[in-house]
Amino acid sequence: MLKVENLRVVYFGIVSVLHGVSLQAESNSITALLGGNGSGKSTLMRTISGILPIFEGEIQEGEVKFDEVVVSKMKAVDITKRIRLTYLMEGRPIFEYLNVKENLKASASCRWDSEVQNDIEGILTYFPTLRGRLQSKAGYLSGGEQQMLAMGMALMTNPKFLLLDEPSLGLAPRIVKEIFDIIKKINEERKIGIFLSEQNAIVALKISSYGYVMDNGRVVMDGSSRELMDNADIQEAYLGSADQKEKDYKEAKRYKRRKRWLG
Amino acid sequence: MVFFLQALAVGMIKGAVYVIIALSIVIIYKSSQVFNFAVGEFCVMGAIFFFVASKTGLPFIPMILIFLILTMLGGVVIEKIVIQPLMGRDPLSTTLVTIGLSIFLVGLFQITFGSHPEPLELKLPDLTCSFGNLFFTSEQIWTIVFTTASMVGLLLFYQFTRWGIIMRATAEGQVKAMAFGINTSFVLTLTWVAAAVVSALAGLVVAWTGSLQYNMGVVGLLAIPVVLVGGLDSIGGCIVGGLLVGIVEALTTFYLESALGLEGFRAVTPYLCLLLVLMIRPSGLFGQVHIERV
């Protein structure tokens, strides 16, 4: 189980981004993390995966534990290798100038063994569209294929737990559905725990069992995905309100006030 | 005709030295987008280590081993102290640091090695050969052998081995690579060690055909037009760029300088080539063309 306890993170020593975040994600299920731009989702993921120092970030308080092991002091490479927790960055972090096969091989670097070839085959069963494009440069794949490749690469690190940062970013709705079906399948078949951040709340809450909502560096709400889906505030803020009538500026301001009160 | 062929051959051999130096630049550029301005000093470092190893009086094979180990250690030490602290930053910062490193190393060599030129003895089998009126010294043949060997070795390494693929991946983004569990700091060390060994080879050739002196690192500057002509991230580009620059330089020496009385014009011609190539292909002849999806 992934446990984040009272995490406070600053960038460049002064820019405070997370103001005491606590949450937990079960090892075998899918947990969703919702929130708007700049709410601190990516920072939280960077902190958990240990690549925060590269972004000049620093943990001021609190810690991250995975199965009771404190990971917030570990290096990123060790977190991937020993804890087997892999972070898939947002925006399809593939190696553009390598071909698809080389991409998959490169991401298996932390555990290079004779199994790599078999694993590539195994992973291609989730992403059949990639099979025909093994020799083409990853930079020339379509957006959906690139996201699938990125997920395949994350699987090549042989993870027990995956952090997915906005897997739907910049993809067509049909592709988003396909990607999320694959995420669900991976979770069920490989027993990999998944913690995914999303702006597309509907798809995220549909496949997850529990969800957190972040705003302005804090967790402002949490509950089972069903509860969140039915929650009036969530519906208004992320799912589009039930009644479609236009709102005037006064009401929008009231909503802002209310949101701040929540935090 | 014989005169022309001899000029061509001299140019190619000169170019072969440039190719090795360019390879060293490309190795580092490929995996970290850093341009190593200290490449000339890496050459001198290798040559000095060889000089030290040859003074031990050991038989050939152990001496070569000592030379290689010293060179690798040199690469590791420089990388750990100078390059590693800047990991994940803008490659431009590291590039600028290499200029400082180059100045520092020149000073260090002068203090430790002294300012006197020393002959470098390399006991390799004599390969002197001649075709009709063309004549090649053993040194020249060996230069070609060294260049070809390092070329082919590197190409195979990058294309087929595990670490080659990982190095190319890291080149595209250290953060990305790190997130996929690639040990980027180790990759960086490996890169600089490989570059140190390749430049040592170049230094060996340069010092062997001339003499070993602390400031012979300026030869590294001659490789700058070579890599830019060939493309900063292309190993194949090195060989084309190197040979092109070498041949142009030799032909200038043999024809233009003597015929037109343009003394020293050969130093300019590589840059004229560079200008022409960059006007037509801004990323060099074989440089990676930036991927843009439409």
At B94-112, the pLDDT tens digits run 999 999 999 999 999 999 9
- Sort out which chain A residues have CB atoms less than 8 A from B166's CB and list them: 106, 109
pLDDT value for A251: 60
Alpha-carbon gap: A38 to the closest alpha carbon of chain B (Å): 20
Mean pLDDT of A152-175: 92
Mean pLDDT of A131-146: 92
pLDDT value for A239: 65
pLDDT value for A259: 52
- Sort out which chain B residues have CB atoms less than 8 A from A156's CB and list them: 180
Q: What is the pTM of this model?
A: 0.81
pLDDT value for A252: 57
pLDDT value for A244: 52
Please give the share of chain A, as a percent, with pLDDT higher than 90. Answer: 59
> How confident is residue A243, by pLDDT bands cut at 50, 70 and 90?
low
Asked whether the beta carbons of A207 and A175 are under 8 A apart, the reply is no
A95–B291 C-beta distance less than 8 A: no
> How confident is residue A245, by pLDDT bands cut at 50, 70 and 90?
low
Residue of A nearest to B177 (CA): A107
Of the ranges A15-24, A124-133, A160-169, B128-137, which one carries the lowest mean pLDDT score?
A: B128-137
Mean pLDDT of B241-262: 84
Mean pLDDT of B73-101: 90
Mean pLDDT of B27-56: 90
- Sort out which chain B residues have CB atoms less than 8 A from A77's CB and list them: 178, 181-184
Residue of A nearest to B166 (CA): A106
Say yes or no to pLDDT of B134 above 70. Answer: yes
> How confident is residue B268, by pLDDT bands cut at 50, 70 and 90?
confident
Of the ranges A39-48, A79-88, B12-21, B208-217, which one carries the lowest mean pLDDT score?
A: B208-217
B88–A89 C-beta distance less than 8 A: no
Alpha carbons B133 and B245: distance in angstroms, whole number: 25
Mean pLDDT of B282-286: 82
B173–A93 C-beta distance less than 8 A: yes
- Sort out which chain A residues have CB atoms less than 8 A from B293's CB and list them: 139-140
Residue of B nearest to A48 (CA): B179
For B135-164, how does the pLDDT look when each residue is reduced to its tens digit (9 = 90+)? 788 888 888 888 888 889 888 988 888 888
Tell which wins on pLDDT, B13 or A163: A163
CA count, 13 A, side-chain hemisphere, A233: 21
B206 to each of B20, B156, B199, B211, how far by Cα in Å?
Answer: 11, 25, 10, 8
A140–B183 C-beta distance less than 8 A: no
Say yes or no to pLDDT of B255 above 90. Answer: no
B169–A106 C-beta distance less than 8 A: yes
Three-class DSSP category at B154: helix
pLDDT value for B41: 93
Bridge partners of A182, per DSSP, are none
Three-class DSSP category at B248: helix
pLDDT value for A247: 58
Alpha-carbon gap: B181 to the closest alpha carbon of chain A (Å): 5
A49–B180 C-beta distance less than 8 A: no
Alpha carbons A180 and A164: distance in angstroms, whole number: 11
B169–A95 C-beta distance less than 8 A: yes
- Selecting from A88, A111, A140 the residue whose C-beta is nearest the C-beta of B293 gives A140
Say yes or no to pLDDT of A241 above 60. Answer: no
Interface of B to A at Cβ within 8 Å reads 88, 162, 165-166, 168-169, 171-184, 288, 291, 293
Q: How many contacts, defined by CB atoms under 8 Å, are there between A and B?
A: 91
Asked whether the beta carbons of B105 and B47 are under 8 A apart, the reply is no
pLDDT value for A254: 53
Other CB atoms within 10 A of residue B292 CB: 7
B162–A95 C-beta distance less than 8 A: no
For A100-118, how does the pLDDT look when each residue is reduced to its tens digit (9 = 90+)? 999 999 998 877 677 888 8
Say yes or no to pLDDT of A24 above 70. Answer: yes
Mean pLDDT of B111-127: 82
ipTM more than 0.85? no
- Sort out which chain A residues have CB atoms less than 8 A from B89's CB and list them: none
Six token digits for residue A230: 């039915």
E strand map for chain B: 129-131, 134-136
A86–B179 C-beta distance less than 8 A: yes
> How confident is residue A210, by pLDDT bands cut at 50, 70 and 90?
very high
pLDDT value for A150: 95
- Selecting from B172, B175, B180 the residue whose C-beta is nearest the C-beta of A107 gives B180
Say yes or no to pLDDT of A203 above 70. Answer: yes
Bridge partners of A211, per DSSP, are A32, A223
DSSP one-letter string for chain A: -EEEEEEEEEETTTEEEEEEEEEEE-SSSEEEEEE-TTSSHHHHHHHHHT-GGGGTEEEEEEEEEETTEE-TTS-HHHIIIII-EEEE-SS----TTSBHHHHHHHTTGGG-STTHHHHHHHHHTT-HHHHTTTTSBGGGS-HHHHHHHHHHHHHHT--SEEEEE-TTTT--HHHHHHHHHHHHHHHHHH--EEEEEES-HHHHHHH-SEEEEEETTEEEEEEEHHHHHH-HHHIIIII--SS-----HHHHHHHHHHHHHH-
